[in-house]
Every structure is written in C-alpha cells, then in structure tokens.
Amino acid sequence: MTFGPEHEEPQARGGDESDAVAVAFGDPATGLYGLARTSVSPGDAGGMGILFAGGAPAAVRSEGVRIEVVEPRERWTATFDGVFDLEVEALAAPADAGVGETSGYEQLCRVHGTVTVDGEQRTVDCLGQRGHTWGRADWSKLALARTVSAWLDDRTAIALSAVRSKSAKHHADEEVNAHLVLDGTPRPVEDPRLSTTYDADGRQIHAGLELWVIDEAGEYPHRAAGEVVCGTTIDLGSLRLDCAFFEWHMEGRTGVGRYDVVRRAE
C-alpha cells in the first residue's frame, strides 16, 4: 500500500473502527525512553503517555498527550504535559504496518526536545518512530497483538506487526507483517521470524529476528537480537499492555526500539 499526505488524516470509517497515532523515542545517552499515543474510537477519544528514566517508569498517565502534524509525512510534534515536549522529523519513507483487519504505517524518525524528570529539564536528541494505524481489532477473536521496532541508525530500522487469533497455539501461527528499512527505503520481508523469551510474569525480556528481504540476493537472512532495557505492564481493562524498550544488535549496528504486547487479560 502507498501512503500519501492524505493518510495523515483520521482514516477510521465509523462503525467499530478506531484510529491511533503514536510517537516513541529512546535515548541511551540519557537513559530516557518514552511513548505518546492518541486514539479515536466510536464515542471515545483517549491518550497515553509513558516515560522511563533510569530503567524505571517515571510518568504513566492518560491525560495531557497531544501529537500534531506540522508537515504531512515529514514533521510532527509530540507533547506529554509536564513530561516532554518533542519535535519529530522523518528519516525514512513510511513502512506498511498493516496486519489483520488494521492498516497503517511506521516511519523511522529523529526526535529532539526536552524531557522533565523530578523537576529537572533534560535534552534528548535520538532516534524514534512515528506510526499511524486504523481499522478494527476484534478482541473477541484475538489473543494478542505485537508491535516490534528497532532503530539502528539514521537510515536503518526494523518494523514488525503481528496478531494472534484465539485459536492459534504459538508464534508460528501469528499473522505477521515486517519491513526492513535500508538506506531510508522500507523493504518488505518474506516469512519474518520472531522468537521471544519471557520472564515469570509473561513479560518480554529477550527477542530474536530473522528477516529475509524480498528480491534481495543472499544465502542468509538479516538477523537481529534484542534485550529489554525498561518496561512496565499497564491495565487496559479487558486487555493488558506490556510496554518495553529494547537494545537491539544487527550486523555490527547497535540501536534501540519498542517491543509492545497487547493481550487479553487473564
């Protein structure tokens, strides 16, 4: 699917469809990692802001989150009142992130601005992502959904989305869409493979990726490995969000990224 400036507008078409925009960033130099998310669903509008500092949650709440378009597909702002005020600039073209009954895209970005921790204002200048998804997630049929990303340098990134139906048994039964961004251009991945290790509470702590890029010559896939830097679990009522930031390693590059899992609450 090709994404143009018109896709910056809300895309949900009524009924039980929803529309969500998210900005995430990770700055290993300062130990600051954050997420801003806004969403619109039938009869409701919401948001969520998360900031990790020093490996622990420093702020988590649903109020005071805004993401605004400055220049479609190129520049945005992300604000979490009293916590961070960021400018976001695209570094790559949009990568298709649609999976299941949802459509959308992710973009590798440069994020810079100010973050406030315990009353002290700090500056961040790091990599991140901006994503926009829309459609219908029918949790009467789904068991979980994953969002995995790695930001390795200004021109290299990974974006993966997956959903698992209630009838599926494990990773291999999930519907997966993945792209590897090389030189700023998203390249679709054939048969992406994600393996994950969890702690005793079911939170993701290690992950591995095998990515065979379509139409790319070579005997071996691109491989990446990641381990958790910080994370938290958020109660969403009938759903549970395990939000984590990972350090990633791929072919001599080291970067950071998100690994989020939304699942039906026990």
pLDDT digits (tens, 9 = 90+) for 1-25: 788 888 888 887 777 788 999 999 9
3 falls within a domain: no
9 falls within a domain: no
Whole-structure pTM value = 0.94
8 falls within a domain: no
State the CB neighbour count (10 A cutoff) for residue 113.
17
Domain that holds residue 48: 18-264
The answer on pLDDT for 42 being more than 60 is: no
4 falls within a domain: no
The answer on pLDDT for 64 being more than 70 is: yes
194 falls within a domain: yes
147 falls within a domain: yes
pLDDT in tens, 120-169: 999 999 999 999 999 988 888 999 999 999 999 999 999 999 999 988 76
22 falls within a domain: yes
13 falls within a domain: no
173: which residues sit within 8 A by CB, 6+ positions away?
A: 164, 165, 167
Number of folded domains that form the chain:
1
